[in-house]
Structures are given as C-alpha cells and as structure tokens.
Amino acid sequence: MTKSSSSKDSITGSLRLLLVLTAALLISACDDGHDAPVPLTLRELADQRGILIGAAAQPGLIANDADYARILAAEFNSITAENDMKWKATEPKHMTYTWENADAIAAFATAYGQTVRGHTLVWPNEFQFQVIPDYVRNAADASTMQQYIDDHIEAVVTRYADVVDRWDVINEPLETLGTGVDQNVITATLGEAWMVRAFQQARTLDPTADLYVNESLTELIPAKHAGLLALVGRLIDAGAPIDGVGLQAHFLGGKVPAALQSVMEDWQALGLKVAITELDIATVGGDLQTHATQYASVFATCLAVSACVEVTSWGFTDRATWLNGFIGPEFTPLLFTENYQPKPAYTAVAKTLAGD
C-alpha cells in the first residue's frame, strides 16, 4: 500500500514535473509568438502616419464576395466609389435618382469607419468614356444646362455630405492628351463659369468637406501640369473655393514619373492639398519586384510632401481592375492578386508606411 502509494506518488511527481516542464515550454513558445510582431494592416500603418489609404470599390463585389469585403474593410481607411457616385449612375434622367449602389458604398464605409472620397460631381471630358447623361448633352439652352448641373450637385452633395469628407467636384477639366481646357459640351456651352459655380455650390451645401479638382496625366506631361496650374489659378481668382488637387496617377507604363514630387510641391506652394486619387501601376514583363519598388516610391513621395494627404488606388485586387478591359489582363496593376494574395507591392508599401 505504502509502496504502491509511494510509487504512485512518485509517478504522480514525475508526471507533475513533466507537465510543469511541458507547460513552461508551451508558455515560452507562446511568449515567443506574442513577442513576434503581428504585422499591421496598411490601414493601421496609414492611420499611424496620418494619411488616407483608399481604394476604389464596387458594390457588387462588396455584396457578393466575402474576401473582397474583408480586405477592403481591413486594409483601407477610405473608399472611392469606382463608378457609382458618377452622374450617369446617380441621376441618369433629370431628377430621376438611382441611389442604391452609391448608398451601398456609403453604408459600407460607415459600418467600417472609413471616409469616402466623393467621385465625382461633374466629369465633363468624354474622351474614351460617354460620361455625360444625354439629357444634359441635349439641354435646350445654356441656362437649362446650368440648371441641370445645379440640381445634380445639390442632390448628390445633400445626400452624401455626412459620409463624404472630400469631393472631386470636377473631374478632368482639361483635354486628355492636350494642355488646355477641354471644350466638351458643358464647357463649350457655359465657359469656365460653371466650374466656379460648382465649387461655390458644393461649399455651401457641404461646408466641412475638402473640394478638389481631379485630373489625369499631369504627373506625366509637364505642359498639362502647367495647364492645370493656370486653370486652378483662374478659378480661385474667380472665387472658386478649391482646397486640393487630385492626381489620378494611372501609371500604365509601369513607371512612376520623376516629376511626381515636384508636381505635388507646386500645389503645396499654392497652399493646396494634394491627393493621389486613382493609382495603378502596370506590372511590366511580370516583374513584381519592380512593381513593388514603384508602389513604394509613390507612398514615399506622399509621405515626403506635407500637403499630400492621400494615396488611393483604383481598386486593390487584380481581379477587379478597369485595366483588365482597358489595356489587358496581363498588367496586374494592384496590391493583391486576383486570388486576394498580397503581392510584393503590398509588403513594400507596408514597409514604407512603417518607416522601415
């Protein structure tokens, strides 16, 4: 009894020792696990740096693709509706409104504590895309066209003022491949006065939002940058309350232009904010390392210029990029693969935001 009990005690003792040692090993393994830094999301890193990191988003994917929605919520502190806040999407006929998709974007952003870039109140330039509703194009006279613009801005800004904190009031006022003001049907009919009025109206309706002109290719074409500087200067002189300039930054050649920083600094010198609003960088020859370096350089440039408040990419997964249809599926321009794996560009951006 005694023996057996003492033997049992000794087995129990060995077992206890074994358990204690095992527990100690497990705890130290756990400690190692806890000590290893949990990688922060791009959103957390951007929050720490005080900049916005955004992505253009599509409500159909938000609703039907859980991976898409999960990454969009986790990795970005801002969203831009890729198409669903545009004029044709929200008011295809005068005062006939189709808000459902734009509402879905706004609701998602609200649910996940994200800001929204309101894109866009008026996009007059129709190069490549038929963006002006027919009723506007066919307005009976100039004052009717102006009324349509006023009504549209009032409806959209009123509806989304609470969730949108900055508006692309005007998208692409310049000729796409030129340097001057685009003579589309709106500007040809109303001159530049409609632009001044659009900014004034947006300011009145949403006094706390930042108001932007958003433009393509100025980072790449110096004369177009000069054209935009001239136009924005004229609009401000005429009383337009402009807070910032959006650089679309569609780098379809796979290179980031050397002038990006000086272009930003020119806007900063005028006291304006500057945002990268539609970044995508083509991958050339499947070289994902170069792609990563290019992405990192855009974020580094934004961090280096105090007026730069935002880097938004035009989507985040190669599964859903407008470039698949526009220039081809081989350019894989975004941060995640079509199967939602983070690419080297993701890691490079994270390191840049972390200051590594």
Active site residues: 172, 278
Residue burial 39-50, b: 16+ Cβ < 10 Å; e: rest: eebbbbbbeeee
Eight-class DSSP state of 123: -
Rounded to the nearest 5°, which phi and psi values hold at 120?
-145, 150
Query: What track of x and - describes contact with ligand XIL for positions 114 through 133 (by CB under 6 A)?
Result: ---------------x----
| Residue 101 binds ligand XIL (CB under 6 A) | no
Q: Which of residues 214-243 bind ligand XIL (CB under 6 A)?
A: 216
Of these, 75, 91, 210, 278, which contacts ligand XIL (CB under 6 A)?
Answer: 278
Least separation in angstroms between residue 294's CB and ligand XIL is 19
Q: What is the DSSP letter of 126?
A: -
Is residue 352 close enough to count as binding ligand XIL by CB under 6 A? no
Residue 72 C-beta: closest distance to ligand XIL, Å? 16
Q: Please enumerate, as own/partner, the contacts of 351-355 that have beta carbons within 8 Å and a separation of 24 or more.
A: 351/296, 352/296, 352/299, 352/300, 352/303, 353/42, 353/45, 353/46, 353/48, 353/49, 353/53, 353/299, 353/303, 354/40, 354/45
Residue 187 or 248: the one with the smaller Cβ distance to ligand XIL is 248
Our finding on whether 322 is near ligand XIL (CB under 6 A) is yes
Q: Supply the DSSP symbol for 41.
A: P
For residue 291, CA distances in Å to 96, 161, 220, 284, 294 come to 43, 36, 18, 8, 5
> Which amino acid is present at 67?
D
Does the protein bind ligand XIL through residue 90 (CB under 6 A)?
A: no
Residue 324: CB atoms within 10 Å: 17
Contact 273, 242 (CB under 8 A): no
Residue number, 11 or 127, with CB nearest to ligand XIL: 127
Given 82, 219, 310, 318, the residue binding ligand XIL (CB under 6 A): 82
Write each residue from 39 to 78 as x if it is in contact with ligand XIL (CB under 6 A), else as -, in one continuous string: ----------------------------------------
Query: Cβ of residue 283: shortest distance to ligand XIL, in angstroms?
Result: 18
Q: What is the DSSP letter of 192?
A: T
Q: 56 has which bridge partners?
A: 80
Nearer to ligand XIL, 259 or 327 (CB): 327
When CB distances to ligand XIL are compared, the closest residue is 322
Residue 221 tokens, joined = 């074409």
In this structure, the dihedral spanned by the alpha carbons of residues 6, 9, 10 and 12, taken in order and rounded to 10 degrees, is 160
171 binds ligand XIL (CB under 6 A): yes
Total residues at interface with ligand XIL (CB under 6 A): 8
Nearer to ligand XIL, 297 or 321 (CB): 321
Cis before 120? omega within 30: yes
Whole-angstrom Cα distance, residue 106 to residue 99?
Answer: 10
In this structure, are residues 179 and 221 in contact, taking their beta carbons and an 8 Å threshold?
A: yes
Q: 149 vs 350, which CB is nearer to ligand XIL?
A: 149
The least CB distance from residue 321 to ligand XIL, in Å, is 8
Closest CB to ligand XIL among residues 80, 146: 80
For the bound state, the minimum distance from the C-beta of residue 209 to ligand XIL, rounded and expressed in Å, comes to: 18
Is residue 248 at the binding interface for ligand XIL, with CB under 6 A as the rule? yes
**Closest distance to ligand XIL from the beta carbon of 306 (Å):** 25
Binding region for ligand XIL (CB under 6 A): 82-83, 129, 171, 216, 248, 278, 322
